[in-house]
């Protein structure tokens, strides 16, 4: 066995002490998507591996999903909401351009003592936010608990006739509570970005470059646009590289990792890329088949799922691998603390009941 990585952070260790997730009740199956997108349900399943996706109701915004996930995570961690010192929301689909969606989450949860802010790094958002939260706790002596939540309400920004995006993107939220731990916690972070490829996946209209309103270009809508081939090549290139870099930096072998949680852009693509990198099915957590691509919510949702299914045990080495629009990427290595999971899902999905 390779040497156990040392915690590079000289302080009281902080780790994940609770995870929670929330899925809205409405589902959109492949048959429904196929009808609008002009393809067959079989085509969607074969190309993506997605069976169904969850869709927020018209009155639900990102903050509503995120608040439910934060409440679940706090319950799993065994702390009160007013013990939170900071709430960081990672999302590409905020309630408004301003204020921060995290402020809405603070109000909806009653976390009155928390500082609230957003982090935007597309599908890598939770990992970038995790780094901010970790360093916040390290550098703020009086702070003990942080909520880091990834959430997307992509359905509000979908062109249902576009098979490339309508078959993949969906809604959901998952949150992690960071707190002091006697052992384990975060051992290493590495982040990266390359703005030359920012057009690979974006919502082009609605910001200061192409604002909505009178005079807005008729051919640009506030819908998700994606360069499928470009995104695929990016993932195929970056995934094995950053996994190898993390292993080398921490002087461990791939076999030392119990679990690998990643962004879930497309289960078929993810599985193929992971297998090519030598990652086994026992190590890889796949959740995109049941929820689609929920962007910044993908990694924490995978953590919630793995913990809820009993796949994570105290002392396990877990590698989180992110890649997303921007383009952005990163890894985080952590020793699992034994955190519990509370997952909230519709009653008609018995395999996703709250755990």
What whole-number distance in Å separates Cα of residue 287 and Cα of residue 343?
13
122 sits in the region (left: phi over 0; alpha: psi -120 to 50; else beta) called left
- Closest of 323, 232, 312, 243 to residue 272, by C-alpha: 232
- Active-site pick, 123, 134, 250, 266: 123
Between CA 262 and CA 288 the distance in angstroms is 10
| Catalytic status, residue 74 | no
Tokens (6 digits) for 91: 């999302």
* Alpha-carbon span 345 to 273, nearest angstrom: 29
Q: Which pair of structure tokens corresponds to residue 64?
A: 């509503």
- Whether residue 293 lies in the annotated active site: yes
How far is the C-alpha of 177 from the C-alpha of 157, rounded, in Å? 29
How far apart CA 269 and CA 277 sit, in angstroms, is 12
Catalytic residue check, 263: yes
> What's the CA gap between 150 and 235, in Å, rounded?
20
Strand duo 52-55 + 340-344: pairing = unpaired
Q: Which residues of 20-59 are buried (b: 16+ CB within 10 A; e: fewer)?
A: bbbbbeebbebebbbeebebebeebbebbbbbbbbbbeee
Q: Please list the active-site residues.
A: 123, 263, 293
């Amino acid at each position: 066995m390779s040497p156990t990585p040392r915690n590079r952070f000289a302080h009281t260790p902080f780790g994940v002490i609770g995870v929670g997730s929330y899925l809205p009740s409405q589902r959109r199956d492949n048959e429904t998507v196929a009808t609008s997108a002009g393809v067959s349900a079989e085509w969607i399943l074969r190309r993506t591996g997605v069976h169904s996706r969850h869709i927020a109701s018209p009155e639900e915004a990102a903050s509503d999903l995120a608040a439910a996930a934060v409440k679940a995570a706090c319950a799993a961690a065994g702390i009160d909401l007013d013990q939170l010192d900071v709430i960081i929301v990672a999302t590409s689909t905020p309630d408004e351009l301003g204020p921060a969606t995290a402020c809405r989450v603070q109000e909806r949860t009653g976390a009155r003592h928390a500082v609230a802010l957003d982090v935007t790094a597309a599908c890598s958002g939770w990992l970038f936010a995790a780094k901010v939260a970790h360093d916040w706790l390290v550098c703020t002596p009086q702070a003990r608990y942080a909520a880091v939540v990834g959430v997307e309400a992509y359905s509000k920004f979908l062109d249902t006739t576009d098979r490339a995006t309508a078959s993949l993107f969906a809604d959901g939220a998952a949150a992690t509570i960071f707190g002091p731990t006697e052992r384990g916690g975060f051992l290493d972070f590495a982040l990266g970005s390359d703005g030359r490829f920012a057009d690979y996946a974006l919502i082009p209209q609605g910001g200061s470059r192409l604002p909505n309103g009178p005079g807005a270009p008729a051919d640009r809508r506030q819908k998700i646009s994606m360069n499928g081939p470009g995104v695929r090549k990016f993932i195929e290139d970056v995934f094995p590289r950053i996994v190898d870099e993390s292993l080398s930096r921490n002087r461990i072998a791939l076999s030392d990792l119990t679990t690998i949680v990643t962004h879930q852009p497309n289960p078929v693509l993810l599985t193929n890329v992971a297998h090519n990198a030598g990652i086994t099915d026992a190590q890889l957590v796949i959740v995109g088949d049941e929820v689609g691509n929920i962007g910044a919510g993908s990694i924490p949702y995978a953590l919630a799922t793995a913990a809820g299914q009993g796949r994570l045990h105290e002392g396990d080495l877990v590698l989180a691998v992110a890649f997303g629009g921007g383009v952005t990427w990163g890894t985080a290595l952590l020793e699992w603390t034994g955190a519990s999971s509370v997952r909230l899902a519709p009653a008609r999905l018995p395999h996703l009941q709250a755990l």
